[in-house]
Structure 1
Amino acid sequence: MSEKFSPALRLADLNDFIAPSQDCVVSLKAIKSKRDKAEEKTKSTSQPSQESVKISLKDCLACSGCITSAETIMLEKQSLEEFMAHINSGDTVIVSVSPQSRTSLAAYFDLSPSQVFRKLTNLFKSLGAKAVYDTSCSRDLSLIELCNEFISRYQHQHGQSLPMISSACPGWICYAEKTLGSYILPYISSVKSPQQTIGATIKHHIVQKMGFKRDNVYHVTVMPCYDKKLEASRDDFSFSMDEEDAHAISIPEVDSVLTTGEVLDLIQTKSIDFKALKEAPLDNMLTNVDEEGHLYGVSGGSGGYAETVFRHAAAKIFGIEIQGPLEFRTLRNSDFREVTLEVDGKIVLKFAQCYGFRNLQNVVRKIKIGKCEYHFLEVMACPSGCLNGGGQIKPKTGQSAKDLIQQLENLHMQDVEVADPFDNPVVKRLYNEWLGQPGSEKAIRYLHTEYHPLVKSTASQLHNW
Structure 2
Amino acid sequence: MAFSSALVLTDLNDYIAPSQACIKPVEVTKSEDKGQTEIKVDNEGSYYEITQDGGEEKLEKASISLDDCLACSGCVTSAESVLISMQSQEELFKILEQNKIALEQNKPEDYLTIVISISPQSRASFAAKYRLTPLQVHHRLVYFFKHFLGAHHVFDTSFTQDLSLVESAREFNDRFKHYMQHGGEALEAAKQQQDLEKAVEDGKPKVRARRRKPNATEEAVSSQQDLPMLASSCPGWVCYAEKTHGEILPFITAAKSPQQMMGSLVKDYFAKKSGLTPNQIYHVSIMPCYDKKLEASRPDFFLESYETREVDCVLTTSEIDKMFHEKNLDLATMTESPIDDMFNKVGLDPATGIETSYGVEGSSSGGALEYLFATAARDLFNIPHIKATESSSHVLIKIGKNADVKEYFLVADDGRILLRFATAYGFRNIQNIVRKIKTGKCNYHYVEVMACPGGCANGGGQLPAESEQVINAKDWVSHVESIYQTCQGVLPENNEIIKNIYNEWIIDPNSERAHQLLRTQYHAVTQNLGNPLATKW
TM norm. shorter chain > 0.5: yes
The equivalences for 1:173-188 within 5 A come to 173-181=238-246, 183-188=247-252
**Structure 1 counterpart of 2:90:** 81
Q: Is the CA contact (8 Å cut-off) linking 1:326 and 1:339 kept in structure 2? A: no
Which whole-Å deviations, capped at 9, do the CAs of 1:195-231 have from their partners, x for residues lacking one?
0010011001112212333211100000000000000
1:346 to 404, 411, 416: 416
2-structure distance, mates of 1:116, 1:67: 32
**Structure 1 counterpart of 2:488:** 417
Q: Is the CA contact (8 Å cut-off) linking 2:18 and 2:532 kept in structure 1? A: no
Q: Secondary structure at the match of 2:481?
A: helix
Structure 1's 74 and 209: CA in aligned 2 closer, same or farther, altered over 3 A?
closer
1-structure distance, mates of 2:533, 2:234: 30
Structure 1's 437 and 338: CA in aligned 2 closer, same or farther, altered over 3 A?
farther
Q: State the shift of 1:73 in Å.
A: 4.4
Structure 1's 186 and 71: CA in aligned 2 closer, same or farther, altered over 3 A?
closer
**Structure 1 counterpart of 2:51:** none
**Structure 2 counterpart of 1:276:** 333
**Structure 2 counterpart of 1:109:** 130
2:11 is the counterpart of 1:15: no
**Structure 1 counterpart of 2:459:** 389
**Structure 2 counterpart of 1:236:** 300
Q: One-letter code of the match for 2:375?
A: H
**Structure 2 counterpart of 1:399:** 471
2-structure distance, mates of 1:294, 1:332: 37
Q: State the shift of 1:460 in Å.
A: 5.9
Q: Is the CA contact (8 Å cut-off) linking 1:238 and 1:253 kept in structure 2? A: yes
**Structure 2 counterpart of 1:289:** 346
Which whole-Å deviations, capped at 9, do the CAs of 1:384-406 have from their partners, x for residues lacking one?
00010000012222432112111
Q: State the shift of 1:283 in Å.
A: 3.6
1-structure distance, mates of 2:256, 2:79: 27
**Structure 1 counterpart of 2:150:** 128
2-structure distance, mates of 1:378, 1:428: 25
2-structure distance, mates of 1:14, 1:227: 19
Which deviates the most, 277-286 or 201-210? 277-286
Q: One-letter code of the match for 2:474?
A: K
1-structure distance, mates of 2:390, 2:425: 18
2:391 is the counterpart of 1:322: no
2:426 is the counterpart of 1:356: yes
2:516 is the counterpart of 1:452: no
- TM-score normalised according to structure 2 size: 0.71
2-structure distance, mates of 1:382, 1:356: 5
**Structure 2 counterpart of 1:427:** 498
| Higher relative contact order (CA closer than 8 Å, sequence separation 6+) | 1
Q: Is the CA contact (8 Å cut-off) linking 2:84 and 2:294 kept in structure 1? A: no
Which whole-Å deviations, capped at 9, do the CAs of 1:253-285 have from their partners, x for residues lacking one?
000000000000011110113222222221441
2-structure distance, mates of 1:203, 1:458: 39
Q: Is the CA contact (8 Å cut-off) linking 1:306 and 1:351 kept in structure 2? A: yes
Q: State the shift of 1:374 in Å.
A: 0.2
- TM-score normalised according to structure 1 size: 0.81
**Structure 2 counterpart of 1:23:** none
Q: Is the CA contact (8 Å cut-off) linking 2:139 and 2:337 kept in structure 1? A: yes
Q: State the shift of 1:19 in Å.
A: 4.2
Structure 1's 268 and 13: CA in aligned 2 closer, same or farther, altered over 3 A?
farther
Q: Is the CA contact (8 Å cut-off) linking 1:148 and 1:439 kept in structure 2? A: no
2-structure distance, mates of 1:271, 1:335: 38
Q: Is the CA contact (8 Å cut-off) linking 1:336 and 1:352 kept in structure 2? A: yes
2:163 is the counterpart of 1:141: yes
Q: Is the CA contact (8 Å cut-off) linking 2:84 and 2:293 kept in structure 1? A: no
Higher Rg: 2
2:438 is the counterpart of 1:373: no
Which whole-Å deviations, capped at 9, do the CAs of 1:406-427 have from their partners, x for residues lacking one?
110121122x111111111221
Report % sequence identity. Answer: 44
Residue ranges of structure 1 left out of the alignment (5+ in a row):
1-11, 21-64, 242-248
Q: Is the CA contact (8 Å cut-off) linking 1:17 and 1:460 kept in structure 2? A: no
Q: Is the CA contact (8 Å cut-off) linking 1:144 and 1:438 kept in structure 2? A: no
**Structure 1 counterpart of 2:7:** none
**Structure 1 counterpart of 2:256:** 192
2-structure distance, mates of 1:367, 1:185: 11
1-structure distance, mates of 2:75, 2:425: 28
1-structure distance, mates of 2:492, 2:140: 25
Q: State the shift of 1:70 in Å.
A: 10
Q: Secondary structure at the match of 1:132?
A: strand
1-structure distance, mates of 2:356, 2:423: 28
Question: Would you say how many aligned residue pairs link Structure 1 and Structure 2?
Answer: 400
Q: One-letter code of the match for 1:449?
A: T
1:261 to 315, 318, 325: 318
2-structure distance, mates of 1:371, 1:222: 38
Q: Secondary structure at the match of 1:174?
A: helix
Q: Is the CA contact (8 Å cut-off) linking 2:116 and 2:285 kept in structure 1? A: yes
CA RMSD, 1 decimal: 2.4
